[in-house]
Amino acid sequence: MKVLSNTASGYAHGKIILIGEHAVVHNEPAIAIPFTSANVQVTIEHTLGESTMDSIYHTGKLADAPKTLNNLIKTLKAVCLHFGTTPDNMDIKINSNIPAERGMGSSAAVATALVRALFNYFDAELTDELLNDFVSISEMIAHGNPSGLDAKVVRSEESVYFVKNQGAEFFKVELPGYLIVADTGQHGETGEAVMDVGRLVADVKTQAKTMISELGGLTTQARKMIENRDINGLGEILTEAQLRLEKLTVSNETLNLFVNTANRHGALGAKLTGGGRGGCMIALADLPKTAENIAQALLDAGAVDVWIHSLGD
């Protein structure tokens, strides 16, 4: 296969679960939004030497990449095989500010950017179906049995209303306000949290099943608030969701501290996002100054990184 471009690149962004995490595992809806404030760009340059990678994950010969990058290496080889070649004479640079294992779609975003860069490198058209197929290779290795939600959101400009086994419905989130995202610096414990919630739901002596159902109802309400551009109402719903997530044992001391800090500094609502027990939290603000105050307060409280993301206006 002739390479028609000496240098090519591909792009993808992160994602944030606005509401519905954990409940979505039990067939309730979830809403995820594209998070363009955190993104990844993959650049591939033709070289005459051995293929190399330059990234926070590995720098050096591609052949020496650690097993933790098997998902990307398998995807790279699969795309090259699609073009009847092997991943030779490539200098691959991955520039990402999406933190890994924080529930922000890092693995899906990197895989998406890699596939896009490869198709540009080979000067070929990339259909949604092909992109799905190749990113799925990476996600299956990274997560075992992914829902496919991350792969959809990291390449979309629209938000996703998602119900397991029913597919995804895309819609725009345009609200007069800001989403503040704070990274605890702790790797999320999604797998353990999902299993623990599952055990609680199965135990008839707990109220977990009711709380899961209530989270589903809150997600439905959240979409209505978004459609009505009611950011105050949405904030109240996020706070209600956090109370239930705490009872389901998926929050932790740091997340609770950050949520309380955001609320004390003028947030309209705040909650954890993603699997919980680490990872990130989110807060809503209606004014840029309030968003900045919340962001600074979260940094002072120990957040390792904070983003302010406009929700539309």
CATH topology of domain 7-169: Ribosomal Protein S5; domain 2 (3.30.230)
Q: Where in the chain is the domain with CATH 3.30.230.10?
A: 7-169
| Mean pLDDT of all residues belonging to the chain | 92
Q: Between 3.40.50.1370, 3.30.70.1140, 3.40.50.300, 3.30.70.890, what CATH number should domain 174-310 receive?
A: 3.30.70.890
List Cα–Cα distances, 16 to 52, 58, 64, 170, in angstroms. 31, 26, 33, 15
Q: Give the pLDDT of residue 308.
A: 96
* Total H helices, total E strands in the chain: 9, 11
Q: What is the pTM of this model?
A: 0.86
Q: Is residue 204 pLDDT above 70, yes or no?
A: yes
- pLDDT single digits (tens) 32-73: 999 998 999 999 999 988 999 999 889 999 999 999 889 999
Strand-pairing partners, residue 282, are 181, 271
Q: Where in the chain is the domain with CATH 3.30.70.890?
A: 174-310
- pLDDT single digits (tens) 167-184: 889 999 999 999 999 999
Q: Give the pLDDT of residue 183.
A: 96
- Alpha helix (H) residue ranges in 102-189: 106-121, 128-143, 149-153
